Amino acid sequence: MPRLSSVGKEVMMEDQRDKLAGQRFPESTLQEIAQAFKLEQVRDKYRQIRFEAYLEMALEDPRLVRNAYQQLYDMILSYGTTVYKQGGKECIRYGIFDDPFGQGRDAIYGIDEALKGLMDLLDAAAKGLGPERRIILLHGPVATAKSTIGRLFRRGLEAYSRSDNGRLYTFEWEVSELEDGPTPAVPCPIFEQPLRLIPPDKRGELVARLNQVFQEDHQAPYQLDVEGDLCPKCRYYFNRYMQIHDDDLEAVLQHVRVRRLILSEQERRGIATFEPKDRKNQDE
């Protein structure tokens, strides 16, 4: 009986592998998957722009400057509302609690009045009336949708940040002039709003212009503001470049690159969750 040489066996094995690969992943199928995946991605996710270009974008669309509570409030309203009457009383239902992300699997029913109270609190926080400086805790008996509310908010913020209406931006530093090594850029570790790079005492006129455009174009129920200072890491690079450029702010900002921020719970980007130590504890 004739025997195959080692070369012949290798050729047969390669032919079999190619045949199996073709059966499992036809080229057309892979192309369809890749194309569908690409269409779902944010088109400018990797694009970097200079600070000056971002500033012009913000003046054209001041929604880019919203704080976290304003972003959350607008995200919830973006899913629509329904007004209905129950027992002679007018009630409002927010579309996000119908779970548009899971085909209604986590929809919440029967607590619209309590949810309206939560929305009133978020409305006050968006307007800067006090709640924005506090931690909001959802308190209630077991199985009253506390975790589900948080889950819907997280899914909503992720989806909203991927849309044009919910765009967010952060920045990174070009540090090749300061540090030796393979890292040419250092991102802000807490994904700060780029306008925080402008010193606090120089923001007043800019914020006034932003609010003027914001009210004219969107008639928003709240005012924009740019509060806070840079994180320690960004402050370090800011001061280093200030020293190099002799306090020339415009020259310092040439070392900044602004990029799109896509929120992600899975990647711990803009959304953080904490697991209870004891999963059996009903007070989690």
The first and second tokens of residue 151, run together, are: 């889950």
Examine the fold and report which residue of 107, 131, 162 is the final residue of a domain before the chain moves on. 162
Do 89 and 149 belong together in one domain? Answer: yes
Do 105 and 240 belong together in one domain? Answer: no
Examine the fold and report which residue of 133, 162, 191 is the final residue of a domain before the chain moves on. 162
Task: Answer whether 187's CB lies under 8 Å from 59's CB.
Answer: no
Do 57 and 90 belong together in one domain? Answer: no
Do 103 and 154 belong together in one domain? Answer: yes
Do 56 and 192 belong together in one domain? Answer: yes
The answer to the question of residue 36 being in a domain is: no
Examine the fold and report which residue of 136, 162, 188 is the final residue of a domain before the chain moves on. 162
Do 152 and 79 belong together in one domain? Answer: yes
Do 93 and 234 belong together in one domain? Answer: no
Do 78 and 95 belong together in one domain? Answer: yes
Domain count, the chain: 2
Compute the radius of gyration of the chain from its Cα atoms. Answer: 26
Query: How far is C-alpha 8 from the chain's CA centre?
Result: 56
The answer to the question of residue 269 being in a domain is: no
The answer to the question of residue 280 being in a domain is: no
The CA distance from 164 to 162, in Å, is 7
The answer to the question of residue 116 being in a domain is: yes
One DSSP character per residue, 79-119 reads: T-EEEEEETTEEEEEEGGGG-TTTTTTT---S-HHHHHHHH
Give the residue numbers spanning the domain of 202: 46-61+168-260
The answer to the question of residue 6 being in a domain is: no
One DSSP character per residue, 158-221 reads: HHHHHSSTT--EEEEEE-TTT--SS--EEE-TT---GGGGS-GGG-HHHHHHHHHHHHHHH--S
Do 183 and 104 belong together in one domain? Answer: no
The answer to the question of residue 13 being in a domain is: no
Do 131 and 57 belong together in one domain? Answer: no
The answer to the question of residue 32 being in a domain is: no
The answer to the question of residue 24 being in a domain is: no
The CA distance from 48 to 258, in Å, is 6
Q: Which residues touch 264 (CB under 8 Å, ≥6 apart)? A: 158, 270, 271
One DSSP character per residue, 5-49 reads: -HHHHHHHHHHHHHHHHHHHS-HHHHHHHHHHHHHHS-TTTT-EE
pTM: 0.82
Do 194 and 73 belong together in one domain? Answer: no
Confidence (pLDDT) at 17: 59
Do 172 and 246 belong together in one domain? Answer: yes
pLDDT tens, residue order, the chain (284 aa): 455 455 454 545 555 655 555 555 566 888 888 888 877 777 788 889 999 999 999 999 999 999 999 999 999 999 999 999 988 889 999 999 999 999 999 999 999 999 999 999 999 999 999 999 998 999 888 888 999 999 999 999 999 999 999 999 999 999 988 876 666 899 999 999 999 999 999 999 999 999 999 999 998 899 999 999 999 999 999 999 999 999 999 999 999 999 999 999 999 999 988 876 666 655 54
Confidence (pLDDT) at 181: 65
The first and second tokens of residue 17, run together, are: 């592998």
